[in-house]
Each structure stands twice: as structure tokens, then as C-alpha cells.
């Protein structure tokens, strides 16, 4: 078992770009007078951990760099398609031991849940551990996070060759090519994995707009948010037909 330093350096890295194929510019689209990215950042700050934004070198992402500067968020810029290299660059530049991966199209992430996940990860003191609520999915899409070590990230960065592995950051880790990755899962009951709280399409945006503007969803805990969806199937129906893009 590989051990961490006594006080590991932890960072939440959120990937973002303006050139999304299904809904370009989505992360800065306004909802309730604020860009979606505002809600994403506000929820992540509830985890009380350092936060970094990994964006592309495209000129289109200059507005994201400006947003980050206003919010006091460090930025790393890199390849649009090789997102794995952006994560590695951020981990190296800021000397991170533990990386929390999130995506910027998730405006209602649960910061306290993410914090508890990191605390559990630290207790395990195992750099071969991958901990997430993604592989055994019981949370809605849009509440996703993955926690892994710089050691696992380094292996992926240096060994992954498939474009899909580099674009989506963690598939190489999921494949456990070394045979030494240990997987643990954060789950909840009841299972609400069929709900969709990410923003990838116009229908997804319509749901998030309704949740925030009509129900103040950005001020709700995850339990309260899921209870709201349970009570309003008409809201769930807004994007229930959307299929997640395949990795």
C-alpha cells in the first residue's frame, strides 16, 4: 500500500470549456441572474477545499479565465481534447497529492458530501484507492465526483493512449490496467440514479432553470433536492428522455 504524506495536499479540479458540442457556452448561460458556473463554484466552495479550473487554450475560453480571475480561482489551460493532460498539469503545478475530479456542467453538486468523501479517502491513506459515486451509480447524474491520488493520475497520464481515455480523464484508471487499483463506492438509498441534474442539452437547462428559479434548488441539500424531484414528476419529465453521451 502506498501511503500519503501526513498532511496531503488536496485539490478539486473542475474541467470546463465553452465549445460543448450539444450546448455550446452552457457553463456561462444565465439562470436566475447568475451564470451556471456561479452555482457550480458556490457548491464546491462548501467543501472548503482548494478549487482549480482546468480550461482549454482556445480563445473561446478566455471568458472562463476572466470568470475565474474575478472569483479568485486558479486556472490551468491546456488541450481541448486531452483533458487528462490538463488534470496532470494542474496536479503538478500545484503539487497535489489527492485530486477530486468534477465537471463544470453540474451546478448543484453536494459540497459537504464531497468533503466527507475526501475525509474518508484520507483516512484510508491508500494512494491506490479510487473512490467515487460514479461507477456504482445511485446518485443522479450531475452530483458526480471522483477522488484519486496523484499516483493513479500519473499512471493514466503516462500510459493512456486511446483518445477516449485522454478526453474523459479516468477510464484508464477504471480499467485497472495495473491490477493494483482498489475501488470503493459512495452510494445512497433509495437509488435516484435515473434523475438527471447535469446540463448537456437545452432540456437539461430547462430543468435546472425551473429548479433554481421556482424552487431555490441551489439552497437545498441533496436530500431536500431529491425529495423535491420525487414530489414533482413533471419536472423530472423535462429531461427524462435525454441519453448520456457515451464515453
Q: Which of the four pLDDT bands, split at 50, 70 and 90, describes residue 246?
A: low
Res. 89 pLDDT band, cuts 50 70 90: very high
Q: Which domain holds residue 86?
A: 10-193
In a domain, 140, yes or no: yes
In a domain, 160, yes or no: yes
Residue for grid cell 427524462: 240
For residue 184, being part of any structural domain is answered with yes
Q: In this structure, is residue 201 part of a structural domain?
A: no
Domain assignment of residue 33, yes or no: yes
What percent of the chain is predicted at pLDDT more than 70? 97
> In this predicted model, what pLDDT tens digit does every residue of 40-50 receive, in sequence order?
999 999 999 99
Assigned domain for 211 exists = no
Q: Is residue 45 part of a domain?
A: yes
Contact 134, 144 (CB under 8 A): yes
Indicate the pLDDT class of residue 1, thresholds 50, 70 and 90. Answer: very low
**Which CATH number fits the domain that encloses residue 68?**
3.90.550.10
Contact 90, 54 (CB under 8 A): yes
In a domain, 26, yes or no: yes
What's the number of domains the chain is made of? Answer: 1
pTM: 0.96
Amino acid at each position: 500500500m502506498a501511503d500519503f504524506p501526513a498532511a496531503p495536499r488536496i485539490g478539486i479540479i473542475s474541467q470546463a470549456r465553452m465549445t460543448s458540442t450539444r450546448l455550446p457556452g452552457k457553463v456561462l448561460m444565465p439562470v436566475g441572474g447568475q451564470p451556471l458556473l456561479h452555482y457550480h463554484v458556490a457548491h464546491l466552495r462548501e467543501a472548503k477545499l482548494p478549487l482549480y479550473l482546468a480550461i482549454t487554450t482556445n480563445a473561446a475560453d478566455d471568458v472562463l479565465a476572466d470568470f475565474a480571475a474575478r472569483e479568485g480561482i486558479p486556472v490551468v489551460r491546456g488541450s481541448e481534447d486531452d483533458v487528462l493532460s490538463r488534470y496532470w498539469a494542474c496536479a503538478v503545478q500545484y503539487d497535489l497529492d489527492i485530486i477530486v475530479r468534477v465537471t463544470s456542467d453540474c451546478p448543484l453538486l453536494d459540497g459537504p458530501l464531497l468533503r466527507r468523501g475526501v475525509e474518508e479517502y484520507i483516512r484510508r491513506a491508500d494512494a491506490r484507492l479510487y473512490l467515487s459515486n460514479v461507477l456504482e451509480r445511485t446518485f443522479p447524474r450531475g452530483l458526480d465526483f471522483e477522488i484519486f491520488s496523484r499516483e493513479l493520475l500519473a499512471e493514466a497520464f503516462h500510459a493512456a493512449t486511446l483518445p477516449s481515455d485522454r478526453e474523459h480523464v479516468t477510464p484508464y484508471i477504471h480499467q485497472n490496467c495495473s491490477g493494483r487499483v482498489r475501488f470503493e463506492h459512495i452510494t445512497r438509498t433509495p437509488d435516484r440514479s435515473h434523475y438527471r441534474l447535469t446540463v448537456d442539452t437545452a432540456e437539461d437547462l430547462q430543468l435546472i432553470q425551473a429548479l433554481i428559479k421556482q424552487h431555490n434548488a441551489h439552497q437545498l441539500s441533496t436530500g431536500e433536492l431529491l425529495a423535491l424531484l420525487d414530489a414533482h414528476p413533471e419536472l423530472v419529465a423535462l429531461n427524462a428522455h435525454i441519453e448520456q453521451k457515451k464515453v
